[in-house]
Amino acid sequence: RKEVEQDPGPFNVPEGATVAFNCTYSNSASQSFFWYRQDCRKEPKLLMSVYSSGNEDGRFTAQLNRASQYISLLIRDSKLSDSATYLCVVTQGSYALNFGKGTSLLVTP
């Protein structure tokens, strides 16, 4: 079983919609959690860290549920530019990232 699991999608949503992605992880000793964004044929880039209390950055909200070992990402008011693959990332230390396979999002006009 892979350590980090994500629904690969694709999620096709219209502009302005709200979309949510979930991710589960298997190692209860995991300490740090992130969402990375990867555009087609580009390198991954950090979207946001995920804190225990949940956190928000503009239209993006991340939640962590340690008891159920899952992480979520909510995108409100989707823009065309949000189309990308969203990677759930988990670590047991301060480096050596464990990546999910990614969830593909396509926002349509």
Partner 1 sequence: NAGVTQTPKFQVLKTGQSMTLQCAQDMNHEYMSWYRQDPGMGLRLIHYSVGAGITDQGEVPNGYNVSRSTTEDFPLRLLSAAPSQTSVYFCASSYVGGKYNEQFFGPGTRLTVL
74 token code pair: 């909510």
Closer by beta carbon to partner 1, 75 or else 88: 88
Smallest gap from Cβ 101 to partner 1, in A, equals: 4
Q: Which stretch binds partner 1 (CB under 8 A): 11-19, 22-30, 69-77, 88-96?
A: 88-96
Q: Which is nearer to partner 1, 14 or 43 (CB)?
A: 43
Three-state secondary structure call for residue 66: coil
| Residue 55 CB contacts under 8 Å (≥ 6 apart), including other chains | 48, 49, 61, 62
**Nearer to partner 1 among residue 43 and residue 58 (C-beta):** 43
76 binds partner 1 (CB under 8 A): no
- Binding status of residue 46 toward partner 1 by CB under 8 A: yes
For 100, residues 6+ apart whose C-beta sits below 8 A from its C-beta are 2, 4, 5, 6, 23, 87, 88, 89
Q: Taking a C-beta distance cutoff of 8 angstroms, is the pair 105, 10 a contact?
A: yes
Residue 44 sits in the site that holds partner 1 (CB under 8 A): yes
